[in-house]
Amino acid sequence: MAMLGEITHTTTYRYTKPVSFGTHRAMFLPRRGACARLLGWSARTNPPSKVHWTTDARSNTVTVMEFSELASELTIIFQVRGVYFGIKGIESFPLAARAEQIPVQYSPDEWTDLAGYLRPHADDPDGSLASWTKSFVAGDKDETTDVLHRLLRTFRESFSYSARESEGTQAPGETLRKRSGTCRDYAWLMIETLRRLGLASRFVSGYLYDQALDGGAVGATGSGATHAWVQVFLPGAGWLDYDPTNQINAGFDLIPVAVARHPAQAIPLEGSWFGDAGDYAGMSVNVTVHKIGDIRDSSEG
């Protein structure tokens, strides 16, 4: 089954008087491939800007906006329409025998290609991350998918989601200590935990389709804004999605935009402005993911 959908991502920055703007870079375009087929997209700004498109080293699409006018309000609107493919029961894909238990055995070629996603990036000065990691394995032959689901349940049952306006991502040790954070914080802690278990993992930024929110009801955690989750590479199945914020790992609920070794490589929107520090008056972000209809694949009969 596939979903025909439309995403609108609006960001507004406000200032007490006109200021000038430097280059802004955004990641909003869903990654094309097996999970998405894009039909059309646009980037509009007020004040107007010169827009061009490029890709980074990880094949993420980057929108670059150059401004020449002063303004007391900057609005950036991204829109994209596409077909998004979802697979129910994604873990029904057979894992290679060498991936069924931890530690997963990667081939030499896989080790070369996945090296950046296998090496932990965060410091662990007090050993708290190491202790936390060990709590998810009981012996020498833990089933890989059992460990992954155990980790998802722990986030759901023992952590408290906490949105914040400040930029950036908490250090994994801080999220672990607070037992609280945003979707980006959860994803980064899960990635660093999985890497310490020998599982190749990467950070994903994108959108969350929530049927309840689309219908005007209360949405899932993290909906209404950009979302973040984890992808784990398991031989035989490939890159699999795991969302520690909502315990999602199947369907077309998760629409990836950017993949990265660490969160700083997948910032949805970044840029600069020039004026007095007191000129900044705040910002607002609104993301809607609207399903236009379902598309049935002809191969489904």
**Per-residue model confidence (pLDDT) at position 214:** 58
pLDDT in tens, 210-261: 765 554 433 455 555 789 999 999 999 999 999 999 887 765 688 899 999 9
pLDDT in tens, 251-292: 568 889 999 999 999 999 999 999 999 999 999 999 998 888
In 3D space, the residue among 73, 37, 29 whose CA is nearest the CA of residue 53 turns out to be: 29
- Maximum alpha-carbon separation in the chain: 63
In 3D space, the residue among 43, 28, 32 whose CA is nearest the CA of residue 82 turns out to be: 32
**Residue 16 pLDDT > 60, yes or no?**
yes
Q: How many CA atoms lie within 13 A of 131 on its CB side?
A: 8
**Per-residue model confidence (pLDDT) at position 232:** 96
Structural domain boundaries of the chain?
2-85+267-292, 90-265
pLDDT in tens, 65-120: 999 999 999 999 999 999 887 665 555 578 999 999 999 999 999 999 999 999 99
Q: Please answer whether residues 40 and 80 qualify as being in contact, where contact means their C-beta atoms are separated by less than 8 angstroms.
A: yes
**Per-residue model confidence (pLDDT) at position 217:** 38
**Per-residue model confidence (pLDDT) at position 251:** 58
Per residue, the 3-state secondary structure of the chain, as one string, reads CEEEEEEEEEEEEEEEEEEEECCEEECCCCCCCCCEEEEEEEEEEECCEEEEEEECCCCCEEEEEEECCCEEEEEEEEEEEEEEECCCCHHHCCCCHHHCEECCCCCHHHHHHHHHHHCCCCCCCCCHHHHHHHCCCCCCCEEHHHHHHHHHHHHHHHCEECCCCCCCCCCHHHHHHHCEECHHHHHHHHHHHHHHCCCCEEEEEEEECCHHHHCCCCCCCCCCCCEEEEEEEECCCEEEEEECCCCECCCCCEEEEEEECCHHHCCCEECCEECCHHHEEEEEEEEEEEEEEEECCHHHC
Radius of gyration of the chain (CA): 20
Q: Please answer whether residues 28 and 256 qualify as being in contact, where contact means their C-beta atoms are separated by less than 8 angstroms.
A: no
Residue range 133-140: average pLDDT?
A: 86
Q: Tell the CATH topology of 2-85+267-292.
A: Immunoglobulin-like (2.60.40)
The partner residues of 75 in beta bridges, in order of sequence, read: 12, 46
Report strand pairing: 160-161 vs 180-181. Answer: parallel
**Per-residue model confidence (pLDDT) at position 220:** 53
pLDDT in tens, 22-58: 999 999 999 887 678 899 999 999 999 999 999 999 9
CATH of region 90-265: 3.10.620.30
What is the pLDDT of the chain when averaged over all its residues? 89
**Per-residue model confidence (pLDDT) at position 86:** 65
pLDDT in tens, 183-218: 999 999 999 999 999 999 999 999 988 765 554 433
Q: Please answer whether residues 11 and 271 qualify as being in contact, where contact means their C-beta atoms are separated by less than 8 angstroms.
A: no
**Per-residue model confidence (pLDDT) at position 74:** 98
Share of the chain above pLDDT 70, in %: 88
